[in-house]
Structure 1
Amino acid sequence: MKAVALVAAAVLAASPSLVGAQQGSESVFLEELTWTEVRDLVQDGYTSVIIATGGTEQKGPHMVDGEHRFVLEYTTDRIARLVGNTLVAPIVTYVPEGSWENPRGHMAMAGTITLPEPWFVEMLEHAARSLAAGGFTDILFIGDSGGNQRGMQQVVAALNESWQGTGRRAHFIGDYYGKSGDDIRSWMVDELGVDPDDIGGHAGMTDTSQQMFVNPAHIRLSEMAPGGGFEGSGVSGDPTRASAALGEGQLRIKIDNAVAQIRESLGVSGPTPDPDRRLPKPELTPFSEATGGPFIERLTWTEIRDAIADGATTAIVPVGGTEQNGPHMVLGKHNYIITHAAELMAEALGNTLVAPTLAYVPEGDHQRPGFGDKPGVITNPGSSYEQVLEAAARSLRVHGITDILFIGDSGGNQAGMQAVADRLNREWAGTGTTVYALTDYYRKGQEHTRAWLMARHGYTPEEIGSHAGIMDTSQVLYVYPEGIRMEKAAPFGGFEDSGVRGDPTKATADIGRMGVRFKVNAGLEQYRELRGEGGRR
C-alpha cells in the first residue's frame, strides 16, 4: 500500500493542472452559453460536440448515485479543450440500468433510474439530429458506464447511414470507457502492484478514486468497507484503498484515450494542443458525512433506501430544457430554474426526494427553420420525451415512491407530463401509487407573476413579454446570475428572430425571487388539491 501511495502521489504532483469547468462565455458547456454565443463559435469552427452519457445508479453505501455525471462534468470539459473546437451537450443522466419489471442488480437498489435501451437510443438520436440542425458536423458520443456503450454504438451506426454524403458524422468514442478500463487496471496492477481483487469492479477502487478527485464531498468515508461491508452492497473491490491521487491518474488515462481516438476519428494530425485557457484543479471540498439534501444524484443508495423507509415516499421529477433564450441568457435557463424550484418544493413538503432534471425535452422541430434549429437547441419530441418521463416514474415506483410529481418550467413540457400522468394513473389505479402533473407550477405561476409585475411595477404586457423577457431573465438572475449577459440584453432582443419577447433590461434578482416563489406555491397548492377527494391528477 505504501508503494501505491508514493507512486500515485508522484503522478498527482507531476501532472499539469487539469482544467475544471468554466462558467460564462468561456465555458464549453452548451447549458452555460447563449444561443448566439454557440452560433458564433460554430461559425468560428467549433463544429464538434460531445454527447456524454452517465447514469443514475447505485454506487455502494459510500458513494452518491450521480457519480457518473460528476466524473463526466470534469472529463468532458478537459476533452473538449484538448481536442479543440468542441463543445459539450448536457450530460445524459437517464440511461439503461436494468428492468423495473424484474428489478435485479442496480435496479434492486433504491435511487437507480433506468431508461430501456430502445428509448435511450431514440432520445440520443433526436439530440444528435438537433445539434446537427444547429450547425454541428461531428457528434461525439462518450459514455462513463458499461451499460451505455451498445446503445451509443447503435445510434452512431444509424446516424452515419442516414447522413451519408451530408458532411455530418457521428463518432462512438469507446476508448474512453473500454480501452481505458483495461489501461487503468494494467497501470494499477503492473506498475503500482495493486491486487486485482482489491481493484474489483463496480464502486471499488477505481470509481471511488475518481470521485474522490472530482468531488470528495460525494464520498462517505464512514461507510467505506472492503466489498461494501455487507452482502448486496453493490460494491466490488476495496474502496478503502482509493485515493484522489489514484483518481487523477485514472482520469488522465480516460481523457488521453478519448482525445487520441477523437483526433484519429476526425482525421486531425499533429501534436495535441494545450487548452486555450488553463484553470486550477477542481476545488477540493472536504469529505462529507452529510447527505446531499433531497437530490437523488447527491445521495447514496442506502441513504435513499433509509429515507424512503422513514417516510420519504414522494419524489419530484423536474423537467427543464435546452433552448434558445435570446443573446443575453444561457440555453440551460429552464434547468437552473426548475432544479432550484424542485429543491424549494421538496423542503416545503418534507420527506421528498428530487430526481435528476430532464434537460432533453420538446423544443420544436429541428428540421424546420425557426425555434428548433437555433445552434445549441436540443429537442426531444413528444413520444420520446414521454418515454423518459414514464421510465423515471416506473423506476421510482420500484423503490417505494408512492407520490411522483412532475413539474416543468416550459410551456412545451406540460402536455407530455399530463399525458404520462393520465396513462400511468389508469394503469396503477388502486395500487397506492399516483403521478401528479403539476401544470399549475408553470401556468398559474406565470399568471401570478405577470399580474404582480403589472400591479406592483406598472409594466405593460408587452414589456413583460412571454419568452426570455422580464420574468425568465429575473429568475435566472436569482438562481444562476452567471447565466445572464446583461450587456447583451435589449428590448425584444435587439434584432429580429432573437428569441426574446419582452424587455429583459428591466429584470432584477428580486423580481426573480418572487417569480420562483409564485411558481413553487402554485405547484404546491395544486398538489395538495389533487391529493384531496375529486381532484384531477
Structure 2
Amino acid sequence: MRTIRMDEMTWPEIGDAIARGFTTVVVGVGSTEQHGPHLPTMTDTRIADELAHRVARRLGRALQARTIPVGVSEHHLAFGGTISLGRETLRAILRDYVDSLAACGFERIVLLPSHGGNFATVQEVIDEAPAAHPDLVVTGYADLLGFSTFLAQASGRFGIAADAAGAHAGENETSIMLALEPELVRRDRFAAGYLGPLGEDQVKVILERGMTALTANGVLGDPAGASAKQGEIYLELCAEHLVSELGRVSPPAARG
C-alpha cells in the first residue's frame, strides 16, 4: 500500500486493507500545550503521530488512525497557547475512537500517548475496554515514569545528564523536534528550566499545582545539547521499545 494513514485513504481502501489482514490500528494521543519558549505547541502531537506511524510500520499489517491533537493539559494553562481537555472529555473521545474503529472491523487497537497528562486516562480506557468489546484487544503503553526513564537513558548515550534531557521541552524533545520539524524550533530561544529530580513526588506537584510550581519558562530540562541526529536515534529507539512492550500483550488470535 502507498500509505497506512487512514486519513489519506478512501473508505474502500480501508475496508480492503482490513480484509487483507490489516486488523491492527495505532492511535497517537497528543496535546496542544506550551513547550517552553523554543518549541511549538504541537510538539506532543507531532511526536505522537510520528511514533504511532513508526510503531504501525514495525508491527506490520497495521494502519494508523488520525492522531488525537489535544489532551489533559490543565497543568500547563498558566502558559499561553495551551488547549486542555478534562479527563472525562478525553476518556469519552478515546471511547468513541475505540467504538468507531471496532465498527470498522479492526481486531486490535493500540493507544500511544506522548503527553504525560494523558497516560492515566489512556490506561483507564484500556482497562475498561473488555467490558464493552470482549472480542477486541485494546492495548497501549501508559507507563509514564517508565517511559521518562527510558528517554533519559537514551539521552545518556550522548553524555546528556538526565536532568538536562528533561521530561518537557528539554534536550530529548528538542532533539526529536529538530529531527522532525527543524524550521519550527527557535534555536535562539534555548533556555534551561527546572533541572532537579523528577520522580513521583515532582510529577504529583506538577499535576496538582501546575507547571509553574517547578519552572518559570515551561521547560523541564535543558535544550542546549539537542541535535537532529540525536532526535532521529531517539525516535528509532522509542519505536523499538514501544513495539517490544506491546509484544507482551497477546494478539487477538492467541486469546482464549
What range describes the TM-score normalised by the shorter chain of this pair? 0.7 to 0.9
Pick from 7, 24, 30 the counterpart of residue 54 of structure 1. 30
Contact 1:58 1:110 survives alignment (8 Å): yes
**Corresponding position: 1:107 with 2:77:** yes
Pick from 89, 104, 125 the counterpart of residue 119 of structure 1. 89
Q: What's 2:137 paired with?
A: 169
Q: 1:64-143 counterparts in 2 under 5 A?
A: 64-98=40-74, 105-143=75-113
Shift of 1:178: 4.6
**Corresponding position: 1:40 with 2:7:** no
**Partners of 2:7 and 2:16 in 1: CA distance:** 15
| 1:9-47 per-position Cα deviation (integer Å, ceiling 9, x unaligned) | xxxxxxxxxxxxxxxx51111100000000000000011
Q: 1:368-387 counterparts in 2 under 5 A?
A: none
Are the structure 2 counterparts of residues 34 and 249 from structure 1 closer, same or farther at C-alpha, using a change threshold of 3 Å?
same
Pick from 162, 167, 187 the counterpart of residue 154 of structure 2. 187
Q: Percent sequence identity over matched residues?
A: 28
Contact 2:98 2:109 survives alignment (8 Å): yes
Contact 2:28 2:49 survives alignment (8 Å): no
Q: 1:320-399 counterparts in 2 under 5 A?
A: none
Q: 1:477-516 counterparts in 2 under 5 A?
A: none
Q: 1:146 is matched by which residue type in structure 2?
A: G
Name which structure has the greater RCO, CA cutoff 8 Å, separation 6+.
2
Are the structure 2 counterparts of residues 157 and 252 from structure 1 closer, same or farther at C-alpha, using a change threshold of 3 Å?
same
| 1:272-330 per-position Cα deviation (integer Å, ceiling 9, x unaligned) | xxxxxxxxxxxxxxxxxxxxxxxxxxxxxxxxxxxxxxxxxxxxxxxxxxxxxxxxxxx
SS in structure 1 at match of 2:249: helix
SS in structure 2 at match of 1:142: strand
Q: 1:118-517 counterparts in 2 under 5 A?
A: 118-164=88-134, 167-174=135-142, 178-189=145-156, 191-227=157-193, 232-267=216-251
> Paired residues, what number?
232
**Partners of 1:80 and 1:209 in 2: CA distance:** 22
Shift of 1:57: 0.4
Contact 1:180 1:257 survives alignment (8 Å): no
| 1:99-147 per-position Cα deviation (integer Å, ceiling 9, x unaligned) | xxxxxx4101111000100111011101111110110011111100111
Contact 1:125 1:155 survives alignment (8 Å): yes
SS in structure 2 at match of 1:171: strand
Are the structure 2 counterparts of residues 144 and 34 from structure 1 closer, same or farther at C-alpha, using a change threshold of 3 Å?
same
**Partners of 1:254 and 1:174 in 2: CA distance:** 14
Shift of 1:267: 4.2
SS in structure 2 at match of 1:61: coil
Shift of 1:162: 2.3
**Partners of 1:47 and 1:35 in 2: CA distance:** 15
**Partners of 2:9 and 2:101 in 1: CA distance:** 14
Task: Please list every run of 5 or more consecutive structure 2 residues that lacks an aligned counterpart in the other structure.
Answer: 195-214
SS in structure 2 at match of 1:80: helix
Task: Please list every run of 5 or more consecutive structure 1 residues that lacks an aligned counterpart in the other structure.
Answer: 1-24, 99-104, 269-537
Specify the structure having the higher radius of gyration (Cα): 1
**Partners of 1:267 and 1:132 in 2: CA distance:** 15
**Partners of 1:38 and 1:178 in 2: CA distance:** 35
TM-score (norm: length of structure 1) = 0.42
Q: What's 2:197 paired with?
A: none
**Partners of 1:267 and 1:169 in 2: CA distance:** 7
SS in structure 2 at match of 1:247: helix
SS in structure 2 at match of 1:170: strand
Contact 2:120 2:142 survives alignment (8 Å): no
**Partners of 1:94 and 1:74 in 2: CA distance:** 16
Contact 1:142 1:172 survives alignment (8 Å): yes
SS in structure 2 at match of 1:46: coil
TM-score (norm: length of structure 2) = 0.85
